[in-house]
Chains A and B, each alone.
Chain A
Amino acid sequence: MLDIREVIETNKMIMENNLDVRTITMGISLLDCKGSTVSELCDSIYERITTKAKDLVKVGRDIEKELGIPIVNKRISITPIALVGGRVCETSDDFVSICKTLDKAAHEVGVNFIGGYSALVSKGMTKADELLIRSIPEALASTERICSSVVVGSTKTGINMDAVRLMGEVIKETAVKTKDNDSLGCAKLVVLCNAPDDNPFMAGAFHGVTEEDAIINVGVSGPGVVKSAIANVKGESFEVLCETIKKTAFKITRVGQLVAQEASKRLGVPFGIIDLSLAPTPAVGDSVGEVLEEIGLEYAGAPGTTAALAMLNDQVKKGGIMASSYVGGLSGAFIPVSEDQRMIDAAECGALTLEKLEAMTCVCSVGLDMIAIPGDTKESTISGIIADEMALGMVNQKTTAVRLIPVIGKGVGEQAVFGGLLGYAPIMPVNNYSCDDFIARKGRIPAPIHSFKN
């Protein structure tokens, strides 16, 4: 029989520490969507999404109400569109029409994002991949609920530097096209290395080609719960600290597992994975930065931050793994600057720099995330930052990502405001020494050696 203290503990996590399930994401394969013209293909895609996901939002709300836990987002990930549209799209505009169709489908089923306006080009680009990538600025500027991602490298293939160079230009162009909203388009665009096929989190979610027709993936959250738990073990040893984080991560993940199983049963769609990520929001008390402070740092970014984050990330995984039957996605602590109040504060006071963030991404998921940089940053500099982050992922056999927002018309000291879960961000200074000649080189960086590790 349940004990009243256990019931109180769970409800305290939900009501006081912002425990929620961050997202139920339905992965939908579009590989067999047919059509001999762009318009026929669009109809087929629209039909597929609105049929498969028609009950997703309702089921999410029902579970939310029955269990008394918020399920913040209901989302969809789809097969990378470069693979789906390749047969019929002859221009970038053709891809933009598919993107508009996806946006219409997102509104129809009531999800807040569809992820998968994507291309997988870690080794080379097909004509269709390139057309899709070049269409991204217009596609993101003319839609509301679509997220785009481009995979430009992996441990097995190396880094496609032609794609890295192109993405520097595409990010800048997306920023220009959405400059009236503080370059918001770039908040929906991510460049990845070693991208997982089953990630439920935006903006990098897509339904990989290794997946079945449809699948339910769930992303948990809970930095507030972890923070509150470790506040009770102030000054204790690392052993006690780590045990506390593990136990808390276990409890958080169990809720995700329950929600995923329920959603899977009610929607008649198989359960895929739980993503064990500590995902912050701009709300006070829902911050990974705050967890790092509670561990003993004045601000995220202080010396010791990388070690503290490495430990946190590892304990979250150790606790979460046993709580779920299948773990996947990104699984780790997220450090998106604009979506985390204490990260914002740390960046504003100068404790947290781009270079420190880069070091932090070596030990946690996922990368340089939601970072606003001056609008006049050169395309090649953006490509240089992407190349560095991709190299970290490639060599360390982990997922890394870059979601930079060059805020057109704004510079260091100013703020970009995105609203909602995307939050706001101080514009961070960028090292502007040139990497032009490096980025101008054609081809790819070869895959790294997998022995002689040092």
Chain B
Amino acid sequence: MHKVIITVLGKDTVGILAKVCTYLSNNKVNILDISQTIVDGYFNMMMVADFNDADKDFYLISDELKQIGEEIGVDIRAQKAAIFDKMHRI
């Protein structure tokens, strides 16, 4: 599985989740898990996504997500799950 972690960081506003999910669904990215929390007053969301059947390549989706983030004033990053697994799991 081509597992990617999508994180959203910024001020909480209406429709963040809707925007991101719509985009991912339009590009055939399957969302496996979502969790969110507030740290230091900032909204943090994490999605575990499966890019196996995605229509576009990882780099393009990553750029487009970043762009969506800029439009709604939050920081959206897509990173392969390996970096987190490697750092936090032995």
Contact = CB atoms under 8 A, between A and B. Distances in A.
Given A2-B84, A10-B87, A10-B88, A68 B59 contact: no
Contacts of B5: 2, 7
Nearest to B82: A258
A65 B80 CA distance: 9
Interface of A: prevailing SS: helix
A11 interface: yes
Given A1-B33, A11-B77, A6 B82 contact: no
B37 interface: yes
A255 interface: yes
Interface string A1-33: 111111111110000000000000000000000
A4 B46 contact: yes
Nearest to A69: B83
A251 interface: yes
Contacts of A251: 87-88
A2 B48 contact: yes
A7 B48 CA distance: 11
A257 interface: yes
A124 B80 CA distance: 51
Contacts of A9: 88
Contacts of B77: 11, 68
Contacts of B67: none
Contacts of A4: 35-37, 44, 46
Contact of B39 (A8, A66, A255): A8
Interface residue tally on B, bucketed by range:
20 to 34
A449 interface: no
A5 to B, nearest CB: 8
A254 interface: yes
Interface string A415-447: 000000000000000000000000000000000
Contacts of B23: none
A251 B86 CA distance: 8
Given A4-B35, A6-B88, A257-B86, A65 B48 contact: no
A286 B39 CA distance: 24
A67 B83 contact: yes
A11 B88 contact: no
A294 to B, nearest CB: 20
Nearest to A67: B83
A5 B46 CA distance: 10
B79 interface: yes
B44 A8 contact: yes
A251 B85 CA distance: 11
A6 B84 contact: yes
A11 B7 contact: yes
Nearest to B33: A1
B41 to A, nearest CB: 14
A333 B78 CA distance: 32
Contacts of B58: 66
Interface string B5-43: 101010000000000000000000000010111010000
A66 B78 CA distance: 8
Given A7-B5, A65-B62, A2 B85 contact: yes
A7 B84 contact: yes
Contact of A255 (B33, B37, B44, B83): B83
Contacts of B35: 4
A11 B33 CA distance: 19
A258 B62 contact: no
B81 interface: yes
Given A69-B83, A257-B86, 14 more contacts: A1-B33, A2-B5, A2-B85, A4-B35, A4-B46, A7-B7, A7-B46, A7-B84, A9-B88, A10-B87, A10-B88, A68-B79, A68-B83, A255-B87
Interface of A: 1-11, 62, 65-69, 251, 254-255, 257-258
Interface of B: 5, 7, 9, 33, 35-37, 39, 44, 46, 48, 58-59, 62, 77-88
27 contacts: A1-B48, A2-B46, A2-B81, A2-B84, A2-B88, A4-B35, A4-B36, A5-B37, A6-B87, A7-B5, A7-B7, A7-B84, A8-B7, A8-B44, A10-B84, A10-B87, A11-B77, A62-B59, A66-B58, A67-B79, A67-B80, A68-B83, A69-B83, A255-B83, A255-B86, A258-B82, A258-B86
- The 5 closest A-B CB pairs, nearest first, are A68-B79, A67-B83, A258-B86, A6-B88, A4-B46
